[in-house]
């Protein structure tokens, strides 16, 4: 049991240490909001699209992208979104519903989930995680845009506006560009691949440090019961139900492990940015990010420990 616990910690510790390193660097003044904004833009617009492109390019799509995994992830994501929205309609004031629902269902899979999948399964985890990232980006950005627009005085919720925002997303562009190269085995020059790998290696540590730098205990203190409720839904109830559903569906091994990591990822830091753009409650959005990130350091280890102890991953 101790050996299994240490093995689980070895998987998650590098990821969460980078998050809390970001907190420390911000506290001592080595990074500031300007750096975080610039570095986050670099990750979003350049290094992460390249990393996703290479992850898919080097993968065997015929084996790593089983349709059943992709279908289940889409269905589970939609179900979780509808559950969060349904609960919000019943228990959350109208003005807070958009931010609440986004925080309760939108995980940081493109960074934290993908980093944990790579740490756990290496190249195979990166390949499977990169393929799932395409669905993550599409599903999360579309659904978050819809629910925020419904309750926002400034965002447009018509299908054309949503489609335009999704199609110009750099992460989606990187994934879509990689698909034909991986599917048909189109070769690229070695020097280009090596340069791309150098560039892509910045992604996870830089992104994780930036997320850590955005965490604010002040927002946590000012949040109240709504932030705690959304965080519990994001980190406990939805991962539990979605992972149980994946197990009942028959997924085992790397597929079940990566699905769990994606469902159990903390709320995406981008949700704070989108809440501000929608003129929503940004304090609530920031508090949900803080709480879910702190809880993830414990809940992810517990979940991986249980799944490994049961021999399911």
Q: Provide the token pair at 220.
A: 């946590």
Q: What's the pLDDT score for residue 56?
A: 79
- Report the length, in residues, of the chain: 313
Instruction: Count structural domains, the chain.
Output: 1
Q: Hunting for tokens 């803080």 — which residue is that?
A: 290
CA 245 to chain centre: 19
H/E element holding 258?
helix 253-263
- Cα–Cα nearest to 55, from 257, 261, 200: 200
Q: Provide the phi-psi class of 251: left if phi over 0, else alpha when psi is between -120 and 50, else beta.
A: beta
Which stretches in the chain have pLDDT values below 70? 1-5, 7-8, 11, 60-65, 110, 157, 165, 219-220, 222-223
CATH number where 9 lies: 1.20.1530.20
Under 8 Å between Cβ of 99 and 275:
yes
Q: What's the pLDDT score for residue 89?
A: 96
Q: How many CA atoms lie within 13 A of 12 on its CB side?
A: 24
Under 8 Å between Cβ of 129 and 312:
no
Angle between helix 48-57 and helix 190-200 axes, rounded to 10 deg: 130
Q: What's the pLDDT score for residue 77?
A: 94
Quickly count: other Cβ atoms within 10 Å of residue 64's Cβ. Answer: 25
Q: What's the pLDDT score for residue 65?
A: 61
Can you name the residues that pair with 267 across neighbouring β-strands? 107
d(CA 155, CA 153): 6
Instruction: List Cα–Cα distances, 102 to 84, 123, 215, in angstroms.
Output: 8, 30, 17
CA 264 to chain centre: 9
Q: What's the pLDDT score for residue 5?
A: 66
The tens digit of pLDDT for each residue in 31-88 reads: 998 998 888 888 888 988 898 888 778 876 666 667 899 899 999 999 999 999 999 9
Residue 105 belongs to domain spanning: 2-309
Q: What's the pLDDT score for residue 64?
A: 63
First to last CA, the chain: 16
């Amino acid at each position: 049991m101790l050996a299994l616990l240490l093995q689980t910690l070895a998987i998650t510790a590098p990821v969460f240490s980078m998050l809390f390193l970001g907190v420390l660097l911000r506290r001592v003044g080595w990074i500031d909001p300007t750096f975080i904004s610039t570095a986050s833009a670099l990750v979003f617009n350049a290094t992460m699209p390249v990393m996703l492109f290479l992850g898919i390019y080097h993968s065997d799509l015929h084996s790593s992208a089983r349709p059943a995994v992709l279908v289940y992830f889409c269905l589970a994501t939609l179900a979780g979104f509808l559950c969060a929205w349904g609960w919000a309609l019943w228990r959350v004031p109208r003005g807070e519903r958009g931010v609440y629902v986004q925080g309760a269902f939108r995980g940081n899979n493109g960074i934290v989930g993908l980093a944990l999948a790579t740490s756990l399964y290496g190249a195979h985890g990166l390949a499977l995680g990169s393929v799932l990232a395409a669905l993550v980006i599409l599903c999360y950005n579309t659904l978050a845009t819809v629910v925020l627009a419904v309750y926002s005085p400034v965002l447009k919720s018509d299908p054309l506006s949503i489609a335009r925002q999704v199609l110009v997303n750099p992460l989606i562009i990187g994934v879509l560009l990689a698909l034909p190269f991986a599917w048909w085995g189109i070769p690229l020059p070695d020097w280009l691949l090596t340069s791309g790998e150098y560039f892509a290696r910045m992604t996870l540590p830089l992104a994780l440090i930036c997320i850590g730098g955005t965490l604010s205990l002040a927002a946590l203190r000012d949040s109240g019961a709504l932030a705690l409720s959304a965080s519990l839904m994001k980190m406990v109830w939805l991962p539990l139900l979605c992972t149980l559903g994946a197990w009942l569906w028959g997924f085992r091994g790397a597929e079940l492990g990566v699905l769990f990591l994606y469902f159990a990822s903390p709320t995406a830091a981008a949700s704070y940015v989108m809440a501000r753009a929608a003129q929503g409650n940004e304090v609530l959005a920031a508090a949900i990010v803080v709480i879910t990130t702190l809880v993830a350091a414990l809940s992810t280890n517990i979940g991986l420990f249980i799944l490994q102890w049961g021999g399911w991953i």
